[in-house]
Amino acid sequence: MNVPVQYAADPTTLFWPSSLPLELALGQQPVRDICRAYGIARTEYARLRADPAFRRAVEEAIETLQEEGASFQLKARAQAEALLTTSWGLIHRPLDEVSASVKATLIQMTIRCAGLDQSVEQKARAQTVAQAAALTALTINLHLGSDD
């Protein structure tokens, strides 16, 4: 596979191949063989193991595998992660290679998956609820008198 383990200008890439934590969590092959398949040297793997984000990614993969049916879900998640690179590439190709409608669909899907798709209607509804709450707020002032 020989996936380079570095961060590129493309924000869809990680410091490690996205499927590496899954491979390690599955444990179907020795770590040495997995690293060899990804082109990861022993020193690079030692650096990854010291990286808290990488350790967390492996722990999350292990936890997900322990859940019923999670193996499929984890594999689909890894595939979706890898497809971000494809999507990024398609979105940034010239219009004569990829149509505007395909680009728009990919952009909308990315925004939705990132949870950034709160619609104008949802924002307006939230604003209306906030305004209604402000209007219905009750203020009670009690004057108990003074010592004079």
Confidence (pLDDT) at 56: 93
Domain containing 91: what range?
20-118
Any domain includes 144: no
Give the amino acid at 22.
L
Any domain includes 72: yes
What is the chain's pLDDT, residue by residue, as a tens digit (148 residues)?
A: 444 444 445 555 557 888 888 889 888 889 999 999 989 999 999 999 999 999 999 998 888 877 766 667 777 777 787 788 888 888 899 989 989 888 888 888 888 877 777 765 677 777 777 777 766 666 666 667 666 5
Consecutive H or E run containing 88:
helix 70-91
Confidence (pLDDT) at 85: 84
Any domain includes 125: no
Please count the structural domains in the chain: 1
Any domain includes 30: yes
Rounded to an integer, what distance in angstroms lies between the CA atom of residue 98 and that of residue 46? 41
Any domain includes 10: no
Confidence (pLDDT) at 1: 45
Any domain includes 62: yes
Kindly report the backbone phi and psi dihedral angles of residue 95, in degrees, each rounded to the nearest multiple of 5, phi listed first: -60, -25
Confidence (pLDDT) at 15: 77
Structure tokens of 62? 């292990």
Any domain includes 4: no
